[in-house]
Amino acid sequence: MVGTSLAILLEKAGLECIGVNTRSQTSYQRFCHYLWKEHLGLEQISSQADLIFITTQDSAIEKVAEQLVKCKERKAGQIWIHCSGSVQSLVMCQDSTLEVGYLSVHPLQAFATIESALDLINGTHFGIEGNNDESEKLGEILVGVLGGIPHKIDPLKKVLYHAGAVVASNYLVSLVYLAVKLLKLAGIKQEDALESLLPLIAGSYRNITEEGLTGALTGPIARGDVEVVAKQLREIPNEFLDTYKGLGRLALELGQDKKLGQGQSHDLEAFRDLTKILT
């Protein structure tokens, strides 16, 4: 999906996609539905391409790189690029004697379809890291061509970078699922629960964009309302209790920052009480 989207957008921007290599006829036909290109072998791609995008699943990136290493001809100055958020670019370096650059360009965005990717890439933030300054400079240029915003990341901490993305995207969905479950326990039908929560979620998102994380925090922990939080802890099913407490402790950090920022350090006593019941 990401590979097809990048091929379409980069070709529109003036770069030439010389061809595509896919594992199956079905995936090739899906690619050609959006952008018709010849199906080439890796030998042909290796000998002709300046940039080679490896947009497989994370587990297959190293295997494709191993196949590319075996190619007899290789265009001078070639750079191999993958789009994984969790795997370092150097996973593609299977032969240190090759004069090849390595680059990772990862979009911080959730793409459900190729159409959504085409719509969302412009303005998307990207994590980039490569094996040298030249490769990373190319990453910044490519992201700029796509209309994105590049951020250099530490390849040794890339797993944490990806974990942050998972929390913001995948676990947000899980968090909403938890909220729906709690509303169901209160007697609201599941479909009604989600519909009821969506405006609240939208309001919180708007507050974050306008006020930042600290300013956006509302609710009992932000107010230091120990009694309300204690009641919730007594009522919440045990299976959700650790999750609630963990999120509550993070909210405490924000709440304390908010009080201090407002010059209300005298109100922090309640936060000490909240810390006790959330541990």
- The full set of domain ranges for the chain reads 2-153, 162-277
DSSP state of 92: G
State pTM to two decimals: 0.86
Report domain 2-153's class. Answer: alpha beta
- State the Cα–Cα distance between residues 276 and 279, nearest whole angstrom: 6
209 CA to centre of own chain: 18
pLDDT per residue, tens digit, the chain (279 aa), is: 899 999 999 999 999 999 999 989 999 999 999 999 999 999 999 999 999 999 999 999 999 999 999 999 999 999 999 999 999 999 999 999 999 999 999 999 988 899 999 999 999 999 999 999 999 999 999 999 999 999 999 999 999 999 999 999 999 999 999 999 999 999 999 999 999 999 999 999 999 999 999 999 999 998 889 999 999 999 999 999 999 999 999 999 998 888 776 766 556 677 888 988 998
Q: Do domains 2-153 and 162-277 have the same CATH topology?
A: no
Round to the nearest angstrom and report the end-to-end CA distance of the chain: 43
For residues 251 and 213, the answer to whether their CB atoms sit within 8 Å is no
The type of residue at 152 is K
Q: Which fold has domain 162-277?
A: N-(1-d-carboxylethyl)-l-norvaline Dehydrogenase; domain 2 (1.10.1040)
